[in-house]
A = this chain, B = another copy of it.
Amino acid sequence: MTSPVNAQPFQFDLLARDGRARAGVFHTPHGDIPTPVFAPVGTAATVKGVPPRDLKELGATLVLANTYHLYLRPGDDLVARLGGLHTFMGWDGPLLTDSGGYQVFSLRDIRAVDDDGVTFKSHIDGSLHRFTPEKVISIEDNLGADIIMTLDECAPPLDRAYNQEALRRTHTWAERCLRAKTRSDQALFGIVQGGVFDDLREQSARFLTALDFPGYAVGGLAVGETKTQMHHVLDLVDPLLPEHKPRYLMGVGTLEDLFEAVARGIDLFDCVLPTRLARHGAAFTHAGRLNLRNATLSEDRHPIEEGCACYACQHFTRAYLRHLMRADELLGLYLASIHNLHFLLDTLRHIRQSILEGRFADLKRQRVGS
């Protein structure tokens, strides 16, 4: 996809709306991202088991990497000295780094949270570290992703008092992140928090919108609330966020969630599910998840999914994949990962096309039944 000649850095072109679903293009220094889009997760500067050339072939246009993991190993300063994350991991397309907030708070090995920042133990060697908004921006600056995220405090979605306190910090931290940011080739996204509480979500959306970020994430979802609650938060936030900025729903990747979120105006997604499930032997199909270790597949001559254009489905049978999984062969993990990534990336391409053609609701009904 080529940029319009006059595209500004991090301009978001909204090309079509279908209901509240949106199709657009987000321009970044490393290329254009057609939206809605799914970003494969490359936690430790690699999408597990998948070479960058395969990501290109799969049509990935955005890859996520984890600030927390890369800060600890190999170290963001080292990555900077080696030319930044794009060069280091051999991915020249758009990159997004999270802030590490989610990892720090979900590891639950926190030593202290205060208004200044959070002290935590490394999951690798138990050493103590401290993230402040300024520190996180400096790490993300070193890594050099196109899209970077503010440090936020992730609270359990149903705990009102906790969310209220966390939100106050998250907002102060968002302001400090904005002030700390220096690179003009990075877009800093704010993260709307507030759990399942309407007033907190609304307060968060209004506060962050006033800070005029080039994009917004909706955080703290898909972490324990019901689907109804998730949909309600998305419904609530949608009209409060600026129309001409991309919206990112963090960590969401089931087929149903993707469709429901696109239907509520979300443009960006990331999730470890396609590669994680692949490593456990599960493959995505239109009929649901297929357990590749299942004995019923031992003589199955079909590909994982009939008609699928991925390398795995074009060349290998379920019987072969079952054999690889049973024998704990690396190729099984690779082929299942390729397929699962293709499944989601291709689904998002179909979603985008359906929005451009005004038939998103039909596609949604066909794919997830409602």
Is the pair B81, A334 in contact by a Cβ cutoff of 8 Å?
Answer: no
Within 8 A of B (CB), among A305-355: 311, 315-317, 319-320, 323-324, 326-327, 329-331, 333-335
Is the pair A319, B52 in contact by a Cβ cutoff of 8 Å?
Answer: no
Q: 1/0 per position for A252-288, CB-CB distance to B under 8 A?
A: 0000000000000000000000000000000000000
Within 8 A of B (CB), among A64-93: 73-74, 78, 81-83, 88-90
Assess A51 versus B334: contact at CB under 8 Å? Given A45-B323, A315-B90. Answer: yes
Is the pair A90, B330 in contact by a Cβ cutoff of 8 Å?
Answer: no
Q: List B contacts of A334 (CB < 8 A).
A: 49, 51, 330, 334
Is the pair A330, B82 in contact by a Cβ cutoff of 8 Å?
Answer: no
Within 8 A of B (CB), among A212-232: none
Q: How many copies does the complex hold?
A: 2
User: Does A301 belong to the interface (CB within 8 Å)?
Assistant: yes
Is the pair A89, B50 in contact by a Cβ cutoff of 8 Å?
Answer: no
Q: 1/0 per position for A35-56, CB-CB distance to B under 8 A?
A: 0000000001110111111000
Is the pair A327, B73 in contact by a Cβ cutoff of 8 Å?
Answer: yes
Is the pair B331, A48 in contact by a Cβ cutoff of 8 Å?
Answer: yes
Is the pair B329, A46 in contact by a Cβ cutoff of 8 Å?
Answer: yes
Contact of A82 among B49, B74, B319 (CB under 8 A): B319
Is the pair B333, A330 in contact by a Cβ cutoff of 8 Å?
Answer: yes
Q: List B contacts of A326 (CB < 8 A).
A: 73-74
Q: Please, how many angstroms separate the alpha-carbon atoms of A326 and B78 in the complex?
A: 15
User: Does A298 belong to the interface (CB within 8 Å)?
Assistant: yes
Q: Please, how many angstroms separate the alpha-carbon atoms of A324 and B52 in the complex?
A: 14
User: Does A159 belong to the interface (CB within 8 Å)?
Assistant: no
Contact of A78 among B81, B298, B324 (CB under 8 A): B298
**Nearest Cβ on chain B to A330's Cβ, whole angstroms:** 4
Q: List B contacts of A311 (CB < 8 A).
A: 51, 53
User: Does A357 belong to the interface (CB within 8 Å)?
Assistant: no
**Nearest Cβ on chain B to A89's Cβ, whole angstroms:** 7
User: Does A299 belong to the interface (CB within 8 Å)?
Assistant: yes
Contact of A327 among B44, B52, B83 (CB under 8 A): B44
Is the pair B90, A301 in contact by a Cβ cutoff of 8 Å?
Answer: no
Nearest chain B residue, comparing its CB with the CB of A338: B51
Q: 1/0 per position for A238-250, CB-CB distance to B under 8 A?
A: 0000000000000
Q: Please, how many angstroms separate the alpha-carbon atoms of A129 and B49 in the complex?
A: 36
Assess A299 versus B330: contact at CB under 8 Å? Given A51-B335, A90-B320, A320-B88. Answer: no
Is the pair B78, A320 in contact by a Cβ cutoff of 8 Å?
Answer: no
Assess A331 versus B82: contact at CB under 8 Å? Given A45-B323, A323-B73. Answer: no
Is the pair A46, B324 in contact by a Cβ cutoff of 8 Å?
Answer: yes
Contact of A46 among B49, B90, B331 (CB under 8 A): B331
Nearest chain B residue, comparing its CB with the CB of A312: B51
Nearest chain B residue, comparing its CB with the CB of A72: B327
A–B Cβ pairs within 8 angstroms, 8 of them: A50-B331, A51-B335, A52-B315, A73-B327, A81-B299, A82-B301, A82-B317, A90-B320
**Given contact pairs A46-B329, A78-B298, A89-B320, a sample of 10 additional A-B residue pairs in the complex whose CB atoms are under 8 Å apart:** A49-B329, A49-B331, A73-B327, A74-B326, A78-B299, A82-B299, A82-B301, A82-B317, A90-B315, A330-B333
User: Which 10 residue pairs spanning A and B have beta carbons closest together?
Assistant: A49-B330, A90-B315, A46-B331, A74-B323, A44-B327, A46-B329, A90-B316, A82-B319, A88-B320, A48-B330
